[in-house]
Amino acid sequence: MSYDTQQSTRTPSLSQARPASLWSQCRLQSPPPTTISRRGVAPPTTLSPSPFPRYGHALPANANASGELFLFGGLAQGTLRNDLYVISLEGLSATLLQTNGDIPSPRAGHASALVARVLIVWGGETRTRESRHGGKQDDDLYMLNLISREWTCVAVYGLSPVGRHGHTLTVVGTKICMFGGQVDGVFFNDLWSFDLHSLRKRPAWKLVEPAERPLRPSKRTSHICMPYEEKIILFGGADCDRHYNDTWEFDTTTKTWTELRCTGTIPSPRSGHSATVIGRVMYVFGGQGSDGSALGDLFAFDISDRHWHTFENIGFAPSPRAGHTLASLGTRVFVLGGRCAEDRDGQEPRDSAVFHEFDTALTHARFPDSRAYDRFSVASTLYE
């Protein structure tokens, strides 16, 4: 997916019940921005601008214990952004947060991860159209202390992955795993890990070489990678020639890739889709198909059974889109932002500024073991 660089008060307004739909929608409230307190400076009384519409932003796929999501960057109205919002899924609000320190430059197609009270950001398209033919992508690793709201650019030793966009970051234990992506028409299928424990001594990336070197996913960008126990589940993506709909599993213990033999209704090839995991089920929504069209279908992948399910005839649903994010809280799945099909014709997106919710509890009979895993079991002493 390429990133071409070239408001008003919101109040919660849940859509009217639609009998045939499992989706609901609302517009987020916009409280005043949260600023860093300074003597003699009064807090703002104006409202936070809406974070949407935008696409190519980064947002961890699971809310924290307080039901909050942290959205950073992306492309909005043709401009790369480096703003940070906290989205409250319980209060249905989006608040602009002021930060300081080593603030990352504006970017899109980057990836982020949340570990305890730290937001981690790496990569992305950081060059504007004017600078694209000169300079390199930002390959620094950034960490934001969500208590002090101060960014730190981590001084990394040794080799590190080349800057890129369309990659993924996945948290497994105390490690941040980065896979794939592209830069200047070059696609990657390398896997790197950054152990958070190394912050105490000598921060470093480590290139992960599979135990069986020939067996690994092909080079790709705009795929999804989700954690499941000690494994990483990969689906889809694209290179310069084709879109993919293969499903892979990487075992971080044995360092082996396995292409999964899946059953059920396998999603069509796509890129720019998004996913989140609830229990043993990975939910996938949207993306861009092989013909360049935006997709608006929803799938559920039972990781244990390796079986794909689809949802049909559910009535109202979010418009087809790519470059969005999916997130979850409890049994609920949320779709945020994205580039909708209408954008291609230069029309105002029908609902890219609207917050969409899908309650998986309504599918409980289909997925009986859908207990949410504890995403906060990795204790972190960062910035303490």
Task: Tell me the per-residue pLDDT of 5-61, one tens digit each, with 9 for 90 and over.
Answer: 443 333 333 333 344 578 988 888 999 999 887 765 667 779 999 999 999 999 999
List of E strands, 116-174: 118-122, 141-145, 150-154, 168-172
Structure tokens of 266? Answer: 């396998």
For tokens 């300079």, what's the residue? 135
Question: What are the phi and psi torsion angles at 228 (to 5°)?
Answer: -150, 110
pLDDT digits (tens, 9 = 90+) for 269-281: 999 999 999 999 9
Q: Which amino acid is at 182?
A: Q
Residue 295, SS3 per DSSP:
strand
Instruction: Choose the weakest-confidence range: 3-7, 258-262, 267-271, 329-333.
Output: 3-7
Count CB atoms within 10 A of the CB of residue 159: 11
Backbone Cα Rg of the chain: 20
Distance from C-alpha of 155 to C-alpha of 176, rounded to nearest angstrom: 16
367: CB partners within 8 A, 6+ apart:
279, 280, 281, 300, 302, 309, 360
Taking all residues of the chain, what is their mean pLDDT, rounded to a whole number? 86
Looking at residues 120-140, what average pLDDT do you find? 79
In this predicted structure, the answer to whether residue 376 has a pLDDT above a threshold of 60 is no
**CA 240 to mean position of chain CA atoms:** 22
Q: What is the largest CA-CA distance in the chain?
A: 63
pLDDT digits (tens, 9 = 90+) for 175-226: 999 999 999 999 999 999 999 999 999 999 999 998 877 789 999 999 999 9
User: Which of 276, 268, 331 is CA-nearest to residue 296?
Assistant: 268
Cα angle vertex 172, ends 169, 178, to 5°? 25
Using DSSP, how many helices (H) and how many strands (E) does the chain show? 0, 28
CB 324 within 8 A of CB 295: no
* pLDDT for the residue 45: 74
In this predicted structure, the answer to whether residue 74 has a pLDDT above a threshold of 70 is yes
Distance from C-alpha of 177 to C-alpha of 249, rounded to nearest angstrom: 13
**Cα dist from 7 to 31, 100, 140, 229, whole Å:** 12, 24, 32, 42
Distance from C-alpha of 110 to C-alpha of 59, rounded to nearest angstrom: 10
User: Which of 106, 78, 108, 54 is CA-nearest to residue 5?
Assistant: 78
DSSP type of residue 204: B
In this predicted structure, the answer to whether residue 240 has a pLDDT above a threshold of 60 is yes
71: CB partners within 8 A, 6+ apart:
51, 57, 58, 59, 84, 85, 86, 87, 94, 325, 336
DSSP type of residue 381: -
CB 311 within 8 A of CB 320: no
Distance from the first to the final alpha carbon of the chain: 38
Strands 68-76 and 79-88: antiparallel
* Residue with the larger pLDDT of the pair 75 and 3: 75
* pLDDT for the residue 93: 94
